[in-house]
Structures are given as structure tokens and as C-alpha cells.
Amino acid sequence: MTNRSGKATDLSALSGLAPELAATLASIAGDIALVIDMHGVIQNVVVGQAALTASADNWVGQAWADTVTGDTRRKIEMLLQEVSDRGVSQRREVNHPGSAGPDIPMVYSAIRLGAEGPVLAVGRDLRAIAAIQQRFVESQREMERDYWKRRQVDARYRQLFQVATDAVMVVDALAMTIVEANQAAGQLLGQAAEKLVGQHASLGLDPHSRAAVDQLLASTRATGRAAEIRARLEGGAGAVDISAAPFRSGDALLLLVRARAVESQPVSSDAAARLADFVERTPDAVVITDSNGRVTIANPAFVALCEADAETQCIGRSLGDWLGRAGRDLPALLSEVRRHGIAPRVAATFTGDQGQGVDVEISAALLTEGDQECLGFTIRRMPARPVSALPLAEVLASALEDLSEQVGRVDLPALMREATRLSERHLIESALAQSRGNPRAAADLLGIAPDSLNLRMQRLGMPGADGAGQPPTLLN
């Protein structure tokens, strides 16, 4: 030991009082005190008020290094070398083997009483500190787990919110025109979704924002990487966040464009709560699947539609397990979404696990999460079919009966053409009735393209067709 002048202090006069000093230090400065000879052998052990280990009383006559665990033995050797060289040691943390439990952590410091005197080592029990440290570490881990759990929950709600509310458009990357759009896009831009097809991708935007959006789409096309920009709607209708991601459909390069009104985005401190409230309360069933149509995330409305008790009972199952006609054609539906980026308004029957079937309308859109491809579905219950006063079959029979009365006044080829037209109209009306007036779904039921159905409806003068005229009249 050295004094303030830097010279070593001779403590040899205290060497004969080593046991008494050990007892005093154990009671006021530590939990245990050891008297150790020049060979490192324990000569005396004094334990304070706190009991350490039952084997401490048997340490007398043992080498101090033998009383600690093998991984801390080297620290005792270093401590004894330090006290031999300088008269005093640094603090060293070691572990004593527990008699019937975990090891006992201790911290020791030592001083030599004279050049040839014994070494006095004082130790403190670190178990209380170690317990506090362990609780702190566990608390930190629990906080991290809670944090990541909240992040996962927030991400889940954000994804479901995105599927339920985002305006989605598929854009031809070369012509920059809209190929397909969902209903939310029509609502955002103030036009029917069908009317958006063929329009420029910057339709409905403020003139000052159009150039920036065009540049965004061109950059996405050139780099092959997704990008996002904020723009303003035409006429001061508000701001929207627009993102674009490229994907291929055969040899054609398409852009999946998403638009989200800034006002509809929760931006306050309770954003997560507002997202959760929307997803939990919306009557539309919202579900996200992997590329094979297996459920990964679903909202409570979807769980209720499945007649399940919890979301976990739906996770991992194929969406086709609950769908009727669309279920049989689920691979084709998935292929269409992956190929075209969107599949709006597909009529189907949804049958829950308890066997209750309801008529639904399904909208689907491609989602991209990094390199992962997933699909978002919105499933809406359709109102019960109204019962017409006169079934369509009776309407056709009545029209054919009227037509038969014209035999003798009109030649057979003209009668056959009119009968064919009446039959075609009847079949189209039947398909429209089954699809709740959805032309796309009706075309699917008839096995023809939507454009072909529209042309046929125009030719027949049926209401609901683009450019529809007056309904046809019977021959006179």
C-alpha cells in the first residue's frame, strides 16, 4: 500500500492483528473477510451477518484459488500477484460454487500487512446486485418483446387498412394509361372505375402535381424499383400519397399504382388505435394471403364470415376452403391478380365452417412486401336478391308467345332472328341477376369477355351498357 507521497506504507505492525481486523472489516465493510498467508492458503475466515455458503467454514487450510469456480480461478491468482507486488489489489469479481444451488458471485479486494505479513481480503456478496441486474435485463427484454409485438400489430393493421381503403390502379408502363382500377380509385377520382380505363395515369391530379407523378412512373419503369411521392388532387380536393411498383404480365411491363388520401391516414399520436378501430369495426371482410391463396392475416369480419372462433383458426387455410364457384376457380383468380395486379368485383358464394352460405363480392389486388408477393382481398356481403314479380323465364315465355302470334305475318328467318335475340337477352339478364348487376361477373358466368358482353348489350339496347339505346321491340 502507498501513501500520498508515493512511498509504500509499512503495515507490518498490524500483521499480528489480522484475525481481529478481519472480523472488524467483515462486520462494517464487507460480507466476508479472509486472512491468507504468503502461499495463498486461507488461515482465517470471518463471515458477516449475511450467510454466504455452508462451505465457507471449511475453507481454512485450503488454497484461496481452490474455493472459486474454475473460470474465475485466474482472477484470484492475479489478485494475489498484485497484492504481492504493490501491497494492494484491484477489485476482482469471482464466483464461489454454491453448495446446493447457483454459484455465489463475490467481489474481493486485498491488502498485505507488511512485507512478510499475511494478506487481508475483504469480499462483498453480489447476489442482490446480480438479481437486480438480471431483473433489469429481463425487463429490457420484455420491453423489446412488447415493442416488437406492437410493431407487428401495427404492421398488421396497416396492411389490412391498406387492402380495405387504398385506391389501386394498374398502369401500362409504356403508354402511361390506366388498364384496370378498383372502386376506391373511382371514388377518389370522382369517376366510375370502368371510366378510368384508358385514361392517363395522372388523371384527377392538380396540374402542378402531374409532372412529378409522370416522373415517378417513368423512374419506376426505368429502375424497376418501387417509389412514392405526395401529390395534390385536382380542384383542391386534398393531398394523396402515390406509390408505384413494377411487375410483369407476360412480356408487358405494368405498374401497380396505389393512392391513399392523406386525410384518411391516421397521423395523430393515436394513429395505431385509429387504424385498429377501423380494421376491427369495418363490416367488410379483409384478408391477406400468400401467393398460393393461404391466409396470413385477417380481420374480425373475415373470421365471423368463416364462422370461426378466432383468427388462428383461419391462418394457413386456403381461401378456396370457403368460396363457392370462385373457390373452384381460385387458382385462376390468383393467377389473374398476379398477372394483372387486380381483380375487381368477382361474385361468389362464401360458405362458413358451420355451413351457412352467403353471396359475396370479392375484390383482390397484388401487394408487394420487399421480395415477398402477397394478395389482399376485400370480401363484401351482398344484399339478398330481390324477388321479381315475374320470373325471367316467364318473361321469356310471354315474349315468345307474343312472337308466335306473328306467324303468317312475318317470315320464318325474321322470326328466328327475333327469337334468338330474345333468348340472348334473357340469358344476359339471368347472368346479370346472378351477379347483382356486375357486368364483369356476368361475363364470367357466360364465358365471354366483358367487352363482348358490353357490345352485345349495346346491340340489344339493354340498359347498363355503354351507349345503350332503347330496349328492342317485338316484330309487328
Q: What is the pLDDT of residue 20?
A: 66
pTM attached to this predicted model: 0.55
Partners of 254 in the β-ladder: 172, 247
Query: Consecutive 10-residue runs of the chain (476 residues): their mean pLDDT?
Result: 52 60 64 86 80 73 90 91 86 85 86 80 85 88 85 80 86 91 86 87 88 91 89 82 86 87 56 77 90 91 91 92 69 82 82 84 79 84 58 67 71 79 85 77 80 84 62 43
Q: What is the pLDDT of residue 315?
A: 93
Q: What is the pLDDT of residue 151?
A: 79
Q: What is the pLDDT of residue 118?
A: 85
